[in-house]
Amino acid sequence: MSIRLNPRYRFDAYIVGAANRLAATAARAVAESPGAVYNPLFLYASSGLGKTHLLMAMGHLAMEVNPQLTVEYLTLDEFIEAFHAAIAAGQGEAYRRRYTDVGMLLVDDVQFLTHRREMQTELLRLTNAMLTSGRQIVLSSDRPPAEIEALDDRLIQRFAGGLVIDISAPDYETRVAILRRHAEERKAAFDPSVIEMVAGLPIASIRELIGALNRLVAFQAVNDAPLTSAQAKTVLARTMPASVRGSVPAPVAGTGGGSAPAGVDPAPESVLPDTVIAGDEFGSFLSEISSALARQVEAWRGHVAEAVMRWQGEGYRTARLQLLLEEESPLDPDATLRDFEADIARLQELEIEARELDAPSAGQPLFRDPDRLQEAIGEVEKARDGLSPPPTPAPIWRLEEFVESAGTRMAVRAAQAVIAAPGTQYNPLVLIGGAGVGKTHLLHAIGNALAGPGQLVACLRAEDLVDELIKAIDRNRVPWWRARFRRASVLLIDDVHLLAGKDRSQEELFWLYNVLAQSGRQMVFTSTVAPQALQGMEPRLMTRLEAGLVVELPEPDREVREAIVSRLLRARSGDANAELASYLASRPVENVRALQGLVQRVLAAEDAGEGPLSPGLARQVLEGSPAAPTRRSMGTRTSGLLSPVGSLRSREKMVWDWPGIADRLIEEFR
């Protein structure tokens, strides 16, 4: 620690007036909370106006407040010399490390940075290091940063990011107070008119003003008698430059201007006449009150400056806050800060979404500038629009068409409950049952019932989920794929058992499940077997499928079969033909799909002109001869059932007649 602070340069010896009140207030605030208020603090003033005094006073006060704090004061020349010496000795790094322990660095006379690029870089590095670690740096100069010739723009910006403040020439009252203080320190008692005369000299620099007083102190000490104003004027006139001499004010009548008799003691210090100019006590009081008030009223500056540092450190543009700092007295700075931080929070969300959507704008500076929030929103919206929506449920399947019987009642009730309050009661709902029992119908029916404005219902088979994921992996667009499904309000996955053994798909579904479940979005799955009986399924996914309601759809009973056949016949001829319906419902079929196949075969026979629709025709078709093979080769019918979308429903459905082989074939095919 190399502290060479002049013990006389303290705040209580620093006379505060209108010209330096702001600087003194800021300096005191910084000294009391280094690194927290204005960092960096840049003071500038013409020579002799008290910059060094203020810098050192800050050092003293900061050490009084926190004796553990390391304070270092140095002039720029010393900084340069020491750096050059360190470089010459090959100790450049050691020199840099030297400042890592300094809690408050006071650098005087930085105007000498002009044209010193190397030192500017070094000071920039040091300033950055001090700012990022929350340590205080205070600089002084005889001109503002922007007027220092050939100064690196980055340094100017750094300085402007804190507080740049000037000290102008003191007013008359302050000059009187400074001279009085100095005279007291020198234990010299002057007639008030003498002090007033000196204060009235056209000398801007305090240092020179004190020089003039020093001459009077010396003169009075030699003469061993109090000077009068007239004598003082004569003394100064001898040594002052002509320009100043001509301005030495004439002694003011009635204020002690006459010759005082030799040997008369000056008035006791404790008794002050009413006409005395601003006393030090009031100045000191005012300074402290200003400082205390500024701390309270201008606490916002501290908050804003901290926010600037924080967000700049995180790479965000803080122009809005910096403009705020430049304002003298903004209306509601805290609200501005709150809005700024809300905008940053929004930008962060948007950036995450843009990345998930794989938007071209992801990672652009746009997402680091709160003033371009609207642009960022626009970019993300554009990306969202470009995102193809996930597959939706087939509209032909409606819940009202699903035949409810004693066996299916529980599943229907569960579906109704899910439709009434999605995501709240049964989440997920898992429909299990053999092939063709109506799982897909119910699944799509739920999807259709939930679809509506603002609702994005994703409905697809597990196989398609896997296919899409493989394509996404292949094209390196997995985040895009995820975003596509994570937007869904409702997720419906048919035949989830087909994910068995597909680890990556299961993992993605696991994460998708978590995202949707956390935000209360409804999921419905279908499976041929209960989740706990699924082979090749990760336990973490299995337990999640079990978490809601698992409900079984049994094979259709007679009642269901008759209802289905009647509906199909009614759709064809408007008449259910009870006898035909009863006959068809009594045929030995394992599931609804097979039953529908039977009905289609009979209807096809009627179409082919084999006879009118009757139990006889049905018997002939179903018992007398097998269904015409040409129907299958047409490609518009699957296992006898017209595909709802006018094409083959799926390969699996086509080979449904050979389930064991089909599953294996599909696996081999992949």
Partner 1 sequence: MSLVNFTTREITCKIVYYGPGRSGKTSNLQYIYGRVPEARRGRMVSLATQTDRTLFFDFLPLDLGVISGFTTRFQLYTVPGQVYYNATRKLVLQGADGVVFVGDSQARRLEDNIESLQNLQANLLGQGVDVRNFPLVLQYNKQDLPADLILTQPDMDEALNFRGYRSFPGDALRGAGVFETLKGISELVLKRLAAGGHGPP
Site for partner 1 in 520-539 (CB under 8 A): none
Taking the least distance from each CB to partner 1, the nearer of 285 and 658 is 285
Q: How far is the CB of 114 from partner 1 (least distance, A)?
A: 34
Q: How far is the CB of 284 from partner 1 (least distance, A)?
A: 7
Pattern 70-109, partner 1, x by CB under 8 A: ----------------------------------------
Taking the least distance from each CB to partner 1, the nearer of 285 and 511 is 285
Starting at the edge strand found earlier in the chain, the sheet holding 104-108 runs 71-75, 104-108, 136-141, 41-45, 163-167
Site for partner 1 in 233-292 (CB under 8 A): 270, 272, 274, 276-279, 281-282, 284-286, 288-290, 292
Taking the least distance from each CB to partner 1, the nearer of 27 and 216 is 27
Give the DSSP letter string of 432-499: E-STTSSHHHHHHHHHHHH-BTTB-EEEEEHHHHHHHHHHHHHTT-HHHHHHHHHT-SEEEEE-GGGG
Spatial CA neighbour of 638 closest among 596, 602, 576, 584: 596
Pattern 580-619, partner 1, x by CB under 8 A: ----------------------------------------
Residue 18 interacts with partner 1 (CB under 8 A): yes or no: yes
Tokens 């429903």: give the residue. Answer: 649
Taking the least distance from each CB to partner 1, the nearer of 277 and 622 is 277
Q: How far is residue 391 from each of residues 125, 379, 409, 466, 666, measured CA to CA in Å?
A: 55, 24, 28, 13, 22
The DSSP symbol for 646 reads: S
Spatial CA neighbour of 136 closest among 83, 73, 87, 193: 73
Alpha-carbon distance of 76 to 79, in angstroms, equals: 5
Residues recorded for the chain:
670
Taking the least distance from each CB to partner 1, the nearer of 330 and 391 is 330
Q: Dihedral of the CA atoms 632, 635, 639, 642 (nearest 10)?
A: -120
Q: Which of 32, 166, 196, 298 binds partner 1 (CB under 8 A)?
A: 298
Q: How far is the CB of 162 from partner 1 (least distance, A)?
A: 17
Residue 225 interacts with partner 1 (CB under 8 A): yes or no: no
- Residue 524 phi, psi dihedral angles, 5° rounding: -135, 135
Taking the least distance from each CB to partner 1, the nearer of 292 and 604 is 292
Residue 36 interacts with partner 1 (CB under 8 A): yes or no: no
Taking the least distance from each CB to partner 1, the nearer of 141 and 336 is 336
Q: Which of 37, 148, 236, 294 binds partner 1 (CB under 8 A)?
A: 294
Taking the least distance from each CB to partner 1, the nearer of 179 and 641 is 179
Residue 72, helix vs strand vs coil: strand
Q: Which of 160, 225, 260, 299 binds partner 1 (CB under 8 A)?
A: 299
Q: What six digits make up the tokens of 175?
A: 């000059």
Q: Which of 78, 142, 152, 173 binds partner 1 (CB under 8 A)?
A: 173
End-to-end CA distance of the chain: 73
Q: How far is the CB of 332 from partner 1 (least distance, A)?
A: 9
Contact at 8 Å (CB) between 544 and 510? yes
Residue 297 interacts with partner 1 (CB under 8 A): yes or no: yes
Contact at 8 Å (CB) between 422 and 472? no
Q: How many residues bind partner 1 (CB under 8 A)?
A: 29
Q: Which stretch binds partner 1 (CB under 8 A): 103-111, 125-133, 294-302, 307-315?
A: 294-302
Site for partner 1 in 328-367 (CB under 8 A): 328-329
Buried b (16+ CB within 10 A) or exposed e, 402-422: bbbbebbeebbebbeebbeeb
Q: How far is the CB of 250 from partner 1 (least distance, A)?
A: 22
User: Which residues lie across from 45 on neighbouring strands?
Assistant: 167
The DSSP symbol for 551 reads: E
Q: How far is the CB of 104 from partner 1 (least distance, A)?
A: 23
Q: How far is the CB of 315 from partner 1 (least distance, A)?
A: 32
- Residue 492 phi, psi dihedral angles, 5° rounding: -120, 120
Q: How far is the CB of 249 from partner 1 (least distance, A)?
A: 19
Give the binding site for partner 1 (CB under 8 A).
18, 21, 25, 173, 270, 272, 274, 276-279, 281-282, 284-286, 288-290, 292-299, 328-329
